[in-house]
């Protein structure tokens, strides 16, 4: 389908002058060719971000896509923006709506392959500026495992982006039966980047862009809570999951679930240890929009569990990510701005992961 998709070789740590590597863990690429292939299905009818939006929000979103389409697809422009923002490497993931879980599994696998091969092509063309995160058809665990293996072993991608739910089902739902997928991710030692496309039951979030402003972090919160309370994180203790947008609400209100686990037997049906122990296994991007919240995130979960993110090129992203994190102490800043991502994505960087008791 695409040429020059061979995995890029391991690279050495990039340094600019006297500073260390800066890696953006949260940025997107839109595959226009694949989007055109499904346009006749009217994909918006399946996407919470479109379904639960009023007329004004849809109008603003259409205008944003027109204004930012080039940033989503034009690699030369992207590289200029990266230089302007002080970003050395992007971990490029698909546009969040290009998972296509609503399609027939076979079609979904074909679409995922097209998305993944294009990302691999971009990485191969600019191996010092990009690493890739792919997508898999989670509507079929067999096909998801196959595509995951292809992503990593053949294309050299460093992990996959997933949505927090699949056609209304949580990732831990027994109907999906994604245990083999989680096991394979852990065995391959790659990353899951769990990105929402709005809250899946957003009837009350139609106005004021609420299904993004409130709904995106809420969807992440619900999904991460299921991964915790349904025991996925306990069963796969080496699973590496990145939660965008500062981890949603759970990262900032974790004590309530620990209290519930202690107080109520219906909160202890699966978990052997308190829920926050599993929460500490997750990683979080820096997109909090407030330095106090970022400082709290670092203090609670450790500087080794926070990664620089921009949400490039959407309007809910951060235009000055490096400046936003520059207030941190030097050692923390080095990890957050690039060291952690380099370690997790295997960008020629080795730093031992701090173990938690």
DSSP characters over 40-86: GG-GGGG-HHHHT--HHHHHHHHHHHHHHHHHHH-HHHHHHHHHHHT
pLDDT of amino acid 65 = 86
DSSP tally for the chain: helices H, then strands E: 16, 10
Enclosing H/E stretch for 27: strand 23-29
pLDDT of amino acid 15 = 52
pLDDT of amino acid 318 = 95
**CA pair distance 308, 77, nearest whole angstrom:** 21
What's the whole-model pTM score? 0.92
What Å distances lie between residue 141 and 171, 234, 310, 324, CA to CA? 11, 20, 30, 39
pLDDT of amino acid 99 = 97
pLDDT of amino acid 345 = 97
pLDDT of amino acid 3 = 40
pLDDT of amino acid 348 = 77
pLDDT of amino acid 9 = 41
| Ranges of each domain in the chain | 23-344
pLDDT of amino acid 8 = 44
Which residue numbers in the chain have pLDDT < 70? 1-19, 349-357
Q: Which fold has domain 23-344?
A: TIM Barrel (3.20.20)
């Amino acid at each position: 389908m695409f040429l020059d998709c061979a995995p890029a070789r391991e690279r050495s740590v990039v340094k600019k002058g006297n500073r260390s590597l800066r890696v953006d863990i949260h940025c997107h690429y839109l595959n226009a060719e694949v989007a055109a292939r499904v346009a006749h299905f009217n994909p918006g009818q399946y996407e919470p971000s479109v379904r639960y939006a009023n007329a004004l929000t849809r109008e603003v979103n259409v205008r944003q896509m027109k204004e930012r389409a080039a940033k989503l697809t034009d690699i030369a422009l992207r590289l200029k923006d990266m230089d302007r923002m002080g970003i050395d490497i992007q971990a490029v993931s698909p546009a969040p709506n290009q998972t296509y879980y609503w399609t027939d599994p076979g079609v979904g696998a074909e679409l995922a392959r097209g998305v993944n091969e294009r990302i691999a092509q971009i990485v191969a063309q600019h191996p010092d500026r990009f690493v890739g995160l792919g997508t898999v058809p989670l509507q079929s665990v067999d096909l998801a495992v196959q595509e995951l293996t292809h992503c990593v072993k053949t294309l050299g991608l460093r992990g996959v982006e997933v949505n927090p739910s699949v056609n209304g089902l949580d990732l831990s739902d027994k109907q999906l039966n994604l245990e083999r997928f989680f096991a394979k991710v852990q065995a391959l030692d790659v990353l899951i980047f769990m990105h929402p496309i709005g809250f899946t039951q957003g009837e009350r979030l139609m106005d004021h862009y609420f299904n993004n402003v409130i709904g995106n972090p809420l969807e992440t919160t619900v999904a991460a809570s299921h991964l915790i309370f349904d025991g996925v994180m306990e069963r796969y203790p080496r699973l590496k999951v990145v939660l965008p947008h500062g981890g949603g609400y759970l990262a900032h209100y974790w004590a309530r679930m620990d209290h519930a686990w202690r107080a109520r037997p219906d909160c202890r049906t699966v978990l052997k240890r308190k829920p926050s122990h599993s929460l500490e296994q997750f990683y979080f991007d820096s997109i909090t929009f407030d330095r106090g919240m970022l400082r709290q995130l670092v203090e609670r979960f450790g500087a080794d569990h926070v990664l620089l993110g921009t949400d490039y090129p959407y309007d809910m992203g951060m235009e000055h990510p490096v400046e936003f994190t520059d207030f941190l102490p030097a050692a923390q800043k080095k990890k957050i701005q690039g060291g952690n991502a380099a370690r997790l994505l295997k960008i020629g960087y080795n730093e031992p992961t701090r173990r938690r008791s």
